[in-house]
Amino acid sequence: MTTELLLDHLTKQLQIPTIAAQYRSLAREAEDRNFSYEEFLLALLEAESESREENQRQRRLKFYGLTLCPFNQNISNIY
């Protein structure tokens, strides 16, 4: 298997979709900007972390928005 196929397989297996989607472009940028391996890894992990935080925020908003709407509608019907 080629390196890219292995990376695609492992990122899917490890469930790190943002890294899977961005490692190619970040690798090119890291090469252009002479990043160290640690800086490249940091950029990948920061992107994954930020994506997960945003996804969690969106899930919470969706969850609480759906559970609060019926409650708010019931209160407005009382008044």
Give residue-wise pLDDT tens across range 7-47.
999 999 999 999 999 999 999 999 999 999 999 999 999 99
Which residues, at least 6 apart from 20, have a Cβ–Cβ distance to it below 8 Å?
7, 8, 11, 12
Instruction: Give the range of the structural domain holding residue 35, as residue numbers without chain letter.
Output: 3-78
pTM above 0.85, yes or no: no
pLDDT at 70 over 60: no
Mean pLDDT value of segment 52-67: 86
The count of structural domains within the chain is: 1
- The pLDDT, as a whole number, for residue 47 is 96
Q: Are 47 and 34 in contact (CB under 8 A)?
A: no
